[in-house]
A and B are shown apart, each in its own frame.
Chain A
Amino acid sequence: KNEVEQSPQNLTAQEGEFITINCSYSVGISALHWLQQHPGGGIVSLFMLSSGKKKHGRLIATINIQEKHSSLHITASHPRDSAVYICAVSVKGGSEKLVFGKGTKLTVNP
């Protein structure tokens, strides 16, 4: 079993819908990252959080350290949000080693 599990694996939505992607992890972490990988292949860091909630535009990320769970929400989804969203954790120990989930492929249809 992977140390970082994401669900769902694939998600199709209509433009305007509210999207939630979930991430659970089983190791001690110093931080959790949400990354976005566009069809062109580049990877962008969306959020890094160790507690609570962060918001950037239409994207919201939350984390519950006790439950070892994080969610990424997208409000008013748009076709340009179509991408693979990857959850990753910085494993405690100081080396900032990232362990990745398998990603959630999001397709937003117009």
Chain B
Amino acid sequence: DTAVSQTPKYLVTQMGNDKSIKCEQNLGHDTMYWYKQDSKKFLKIMFSYNNKELIINETVPNRFSPKSPDKAHLNLHINSLELGDSAVYFCASSHLPGRNQPQHFGDGTRLSIL
């Protein structure tokens, strides 16, 4: 049973398109995250949701819109894709913030913009 699953694993698309990445966790966690790993392998937080409520929103272009229909799902929609959006996007989840629990990561979605 996969704990944090992301789909798709690979996404190749043209500049200007709109795309979505889905994430689901079956760990019963309250908090979910989206991270971006750039070409130099540097990870950076994008968003965090706790029980469907946005709690972290780093300086991310508003072309990126997270959506959390319930606490087990956090999807990422990206409008008007740009070349610089090419990266690996990781979803993660953990228990409530402040409880210092480890985060569990999905396998990543490799987004390539042509």
Seen from chain A, the residues whose Cβ lies within 8 Å of a Cβ on chain B are 30-31, 33, 35, 37, 41-45, 48, 50, 84, 86, 88, 90, 94-100, 102-103
Contacts and interface: CB of A to CB of B under 8 A. Distances in A.
A102 B40 CA distance: 8
B31 A100 contact: no
A55 B31 CA distance: 27
Contacts of A35: 105
Nearest to A84: B41
Nearest to B33: A98
B98 interface: yes
Contacts of B103: 33, 45, 96, 98
Contacts of B42: 100, 102-103
6 contacts: A31-B100, A41-B110, A42-B108, A95-B55, A100-B44, A103-B41
Contacts of A42: 105, 107-108
A45 B105 contact: yes
Contacts, number: 61
Contact count band on B: 20 to 34
A96 B31 contact: yes
B69 interface: no
A44 B40 contact: no
Contact of A41 (B35, B100, B107): B107
Contacts of A94: 97-98
A-B pairs with lowest CB-CB distance, top 10: A96-B97, A43-B105, A45-B102, A100-B43, A48-B102, A31-B100, A94-B98, A42-B107, A41-B108, A95-B97
